[in-house]
Structure 1
Amino acid sequence: MVPLTQLWLPIILSAVIVFVASSLIHMVLKWHNSDYRALSNEEEIRAAIRKGSPTPGQYVLPHCVDMKERNTPEVRKKYEEGPVAFLVVSPNGEPNMGKGLALWFLYAAAVAFMAAYVAGHTLGAGAHYLKVFRIVGTVSFLTYVGGSVQMGIWMGKPWGSVLKDVLDGLIYGLLSAGVFGWLWPKI
């Protein structure tokens, strides 16, 4: 067993490296830009949503409270007519990129912390690079991709976008695994 106090450097460094890799993926390679499409009648949709004054939150169309209501002819007709949509409404104003980036870094650090926790309880000091790589890479990969796969299953996120997220998670997992393997405490 390796105490977490001996793993602070790989935790922080892997979070930094994942943060930088993510920035390169989103700002230089921009392979996620095509994941978001515009509605042909965006202004009408914006006006309709604004007219309803929804508070920030998560919404679903058509809305029904339970399966009993979902099986009524009225709700079934709404599903057939469409659209069927999941909508997230954020507060008005420009998105706060600073807050988003800070939260993303904290998430990357939390992923690294959990990978360190699992590896630290699974492996001892002096463990071979590839053993550390496998444990940390697996935990990190699964953590980075799990949410996107769930969005594909339950929220209809396009599978092409999910696959890009899985590739991102694979990159982040491999980078984290490499950092931990390199900086794993020696005997």
Structure 2
Amino acid sequence: MSWSTCYRFRFSSSAVVCLALFYIVVFNGLSLYGLIKSTYTPVSLPVNRDRLYFAYMKYDRALWKCKKPHLSQTPLPLTALASFPGSGNTWVRHILQQATGILTGSIYNDKVLKIMGFPGENIQNSSVLVVKTHDYGRNETQKYQRAILILRNPKDALLAEFNRLRGGHVGFAKKEDFTK
């Protein structure tokens, strides 16, 4: 077979798919290996460190411990975290607080959320990273210097809001609630 014959050879679609899957698996495996090596300390070190090693591992809790969120010492732009109820506003607030260490506020005063790790409930000033709101309209938008808008499929948002109303912030509605 000459070089020109090889050059004219075209991959079949199944070969391309197999090759793509191979690269995805290898890339993800190497990424997983890098993650494991960067945060975990194996209980017993393998002899050959070049090979992927899975074993029972311990980890340093200090690497995963988040600082207790606090109010910002420097004034921040007043930022609305706006969404339709059930779109994940509270979840985004949690992620932002844990990632930055700065409290997030809210126009609401939800005592349950305050107990569950959102001490910034009912704080609406520049000492918090964002302010949770479900309100809309010209008067509401003029209160803020900027905004983050959370969008979610309306069907999913309505279902999540129904679950929150019937089961609380981390609960679910009962089966009977759906048949009423």
Give the TM bin, normalised by the shorter chain: under 0.3
More strand by share: 2
Q: Which has the larger radius of gyration?
A: 2
TM-score by length of 2: 0.22
TM-score by length of 1: 0.21
Structure possessing the higher relative contact order (Cα contacts under 8 Å, 6 or more residues apart)? 1
